[in-house]
Every structure is written in structure tokens, then in C-alpha cells.
Amino acid sequence: AQSVAQPEDQVNVAEGNPLTVKCTYSVSGNPYLFWYVQYPNRGLQFLLKYITGDNLVKGSYGFEAEFNKSQTSFHLKKPSALVSDSALYFCAVRDPMNRDDKIIFGKGTRLHILP
């Protein structure tokens, strides 16, 4: 069965510093991976996805993520954090070996950018 893990409940980063939000996954085949961001009392906003091709995926708001098959990871990164990046971040995975539409979400990582 597919699963996704976000090992950190919270990440604190000073404004202007690079940030990383970690995500690892487990699937039967080649994964389809997603990152979403959620602001308080709002739905999820799509940031980026990896389906195939270049391991480094660039997304919205300057975020990028690197797919690492050997480490089964898909960490979210940004070179220079902004206070406005403070939010809840979800990693999600879909296993193409499963014959359904479902994507599985991690438990989320709260990112605090300190001014």
C-alpha cells in the first residue's frame, strides 16, 4: 500500500535562509508526487508535482522539489524563505499500480518563517 511520511511536525527557518521540508514515500511502482500548501482556514493550494522526467521540479512561489528514487524522497525546498511562506505543507503520493484516483497525504509540516 502506498504511504507518505513527513517526519517533521514543524520547521522553523529565519527569513532569507534556505528552507527544506522533508517527505519520504512508499509505493509499489514509480510514484506520482505532489506538494500542497494550506493557509489558515483555507483549502489546499497546489505547488508542484513530479510525474516523470527531470528529478528537480519547479513550482509556484519559488518552491522546488527534488525526486530522489534511491532515497524514496521528495523534499520541498526554497532558496530564500519569506515570512509569507509560513503555512502548513502537505506532501502527497499516488501509486500508479493502484487502480483508483486516490492520493495519500502526509500528516503535514507546519513551516514557521521567523522575521
Chain contacts with other proteins (rule: CB under 8 A): 32, 34, 36, 41-46, 49, 51, 90, 94, 96, 100-103, 105-108
Give the residue from 24, 89, 95 showing the smallest Cα distance to 63.
Answer: 89
Q: How many CB atoms lie within 10 A of CB 112?
A: 14
HEC-encoded secondary structure of 15-28: CCCCEEECCEEECC
Q: Which residue number, 101 or 115, has a Cβ lying nearer to other proteins?
A: 101
Q: Which residue number, 43 or 115, has a Cβ lying nearer to other proteins?
A: 43
User: Whole-number minimum distance, CB 109 to other proteins, in Å?
Assistant: 11
List, in sequence order, the alpha helices (H) in the chain.
none
User: Whole-number minimum distance, CB 56 to other proteins, in Å?
Assistant: 18
Query: How far, in Å, CA of 11 to CA of 27, rounded?
Result: 26
Q: How many CB atoms lie within 10 A of CB 6?
A: 19
User: Whole-number minimum distance, CB 78 to other proteins, in Å?
Assistant: 19
Q: Which residue number, 18 or 107, has a Cβ lying nearer to other proteins?
A: 107
Q: Which residue number, 12 or 45, has a Cβ lying nearer to other proteins?
A: 45
User: Whole-number minimum distance, CB 44 to other proteins, in Å?
Assistant: 4
